[in-house]
Structure 1
C-alpha cells in the first residue's frame, strides 16, 4: 500500500469535493451517532479555517485525510479530524501516518511546540493509543458528545516517532 500525500497548497475544488464526500461517507468512524447534519455543519464550519492533507492509495482513491489548524499562538497545531479507511488500518500504518503528519507540520510551521487532537471519550482503543504519546489535558463537548483533548509536546513526540530534527 502506498498513500500519496496531497497538501492543502496544491488542492483544487475537485479535491475539496472528494474530501467532503469521503468525510460524509465515513462520518460514523468518529461516532456511530454522528448525524449527517452534524457532519455537514462541521464541514461548513471548518473548511475555511483548517488545512487539509489528503492521502490517495496506489489506485488513486482517497483513503485518508487529516484536517488541522494552528491555534492563535501559532505554536500549537490542532488536528480536528482524521480518517483512514479500515482496509489500511494497522499500528504500523498509524505510526507511519502520524510520523508523516508531524513532519509535515514541523516543516510547514517551525514555531510549533505542541500538537493537540481529540478522541471520543467512550472510545477506549483510541484513548489508550493516544495516551502512549500524549497527555489528556481537557474535555470538550461537541455535538452533545464528550471528547478528550490530548496534548503532545513536540520534542517527546519527535523522540517517540524516532524523528531526528532540530526544533
Structure 2
C-alpha cells in the first residue's frame, strides 16, 4: 500500500479544492463535532500562513491530508520561527502503514523549505487520542494542555532538529 501513494503539496486551486473536500468530509473524525465553518477557517490559514498536502493512492483518490502554519494563531502568526502542525487525517486502511511517518517527513521538508529559520515545531493533538499522544511523546515534550469546545488538547513542542531527526530514523 505504501508504494502506491503520492504526496502532493497544494499549489493550485485543484489541489486546495481536493484538500478542502477531504478535510470537510472527515473533520468530525479529526475533531469530534468540528463545524464546517472552522474547517474552512483552518484551510484559509493553511493557505495564507503555511502549507498543506494531499496524499493520493494509485487511483488518484485522496486518502489523507497534512498541514502546518508558521507562527502562533493566538499571536497573529508573528512568530515564524515556530511551525504548528495542523489537523491531519488518513483513511483507516492507511493508518497502520508508513504513510503517517512519511507524512511527518514531508511536513518536515516543507517546513524547512517555507522558512529555514524555524526553530520549534508544535504539535497539537486531542488528549484522548492515545496513539498520537504516544507517538508525539517519543519526539517532543508536552508544553501544556488546554480545554477547547472539542475537549482537551495537548500541545507538544520539540526543536526542529529533533523533529527532523525523529522523522529521518524511518527513512
Q: Calculate the TM-score normalised by the size of structure 2.
A: 0.81
Q: Deviations over 1:73-109 (max 9, x none)?
A: 1111111210111111126332222112111211221
Corresponding residue for residue 119 of structure 1: 125
C-alpha distance 138-88 of structure 1, shift in aligned 2 (>3 A): same
Could you tell me which runs of 5 or more consecutive residues in structure 2 were left unpaired when the two chains were aligned: 72-77
Q: Deviations over 1:32-70 (max 9, x none)?
A: xx22xx331222322222132111111100111112110
**Higher share in helix:** 2
Corresponding residue for residue 132 of structure 1: 138
- 2:51 paired with 1:43: no
Matches within 5 A, 1:22-37: 22-31=22-31, 34-35=32-33
Q: Which runs of 4+ in 1 moved over 4 A?
A: none
Q: 1:87 is matched with which residue: 75, 82, 93?
A: 93
Could you tell me which runs of 5 or more consecutive residues in structure 1 were left unpaired when the two chains were aligned: none
2: CA distance between counterparts of 1:4 and 1:11? 16
C-alpha distance 137-91 of structure 1, shift in aligned 2 (>3 A): farther
1: CA distance between counterparts of 2:166 and 2:121? 13
RMSD over aligned Cα atoms:
1.9
CA contact (8 A) 2:67 2:107 kept: no
Number of residues of Structure 1 aligned to a counterpart in Structure 2 = 157
